[in-house]
Structure 1
Amino acid sequence: MNILELMMKRKELIPLIAFVSVAGFGAISMGLYSLSKSDVIINKRKNPEPWENVNPNKPQKLITINQKWRPVEELQKVRKLTK
């Protein structure tokens, strides 16, 4: 039996199929969006220390409100000493 035939026979399944489809699409799109963020590591061998390449001007959260970034002085001193 075809999905469309089943939906025409039982009209109460239409909202259920719509909600499940929207939820599945949302889950897949959120997963793909999360993979594009810089804090997700897919290949550790290519980039073993990804936190060194984080752009401070680009927000790292899903929603960022009033983010102002300032470098931490102690970390800058340590970074200069270790290079």
Structure 2
Amino acid sequence: MNFFQLLRKKKELIPLVAFMTVAATGATSFALYSLRKTDVIIDRKRNPEPWETVDPSVPTKLITINQEWKPIEELQKVRRATK
């Protein structure tokens, strides 16, 4: 029995197939996105020590909710004093 014939015969499977298709597409696209980010390093031959190229001033979280980056007053005073 063909897949589309099965869907015509059992119409209650259509929403299940639709949700599974959307979920699989989303999971695949997020996996590809994560592999293309600069934080993810797969190649060990060209860059054996990837932690040396990480910028410490850039937050490397996946998601940040309700977080504000405020300058520390003491650190600002030290920077002004050393200029």
Pairwise TM-score range, normalised by the shorter structure: 0.5 to 0.7
Using structure 1 for the length normalisation, give the TM-score: 0.65
In structure 2, the residue matched to 1:64 is 64
In structure 1, the residue matched to 2:76 is none
Q: Residue 64 of structure 1: CA displacement?
A: 2.8
In structure 2, the residue matched to 1:36 is 36
- Structure with the bigger RCO (C-alpha within 8 Å, sep 6+) is 1
Deviation beyond 3 Å, 4+ runs, structure 1: 55-59, 65-68
Task: Give structure 1 stretches of 5+ with no counterpart.
Answer: 71-83
Secondary structure, aligned partner of 2:47: coil
Q: Residue 36 of structure 1: CA displacement?
A: 1.6
- Tell me whether 1:5 sits opposite 2:30 in the alignment: no
Percent identity, aligned pairs only, is 58
Aligned length in residues: 70
Larger Rg belongs to: 2
Task: Give structure 2 stretches of 5+ with no counterpart.
Answer: 72-83
Q: Residue 42 of structure 1: CA displacement?
A: 1.0
Q: Residue 63 of structure 1: CA displacement?
A: 1.5
Backbone CA RMSD of aligned residues: 2.4
Q: Residue 59 of structure 1: CA displacement?
A: 4.3
Secondary structure, aligned partner of 1:44: coil
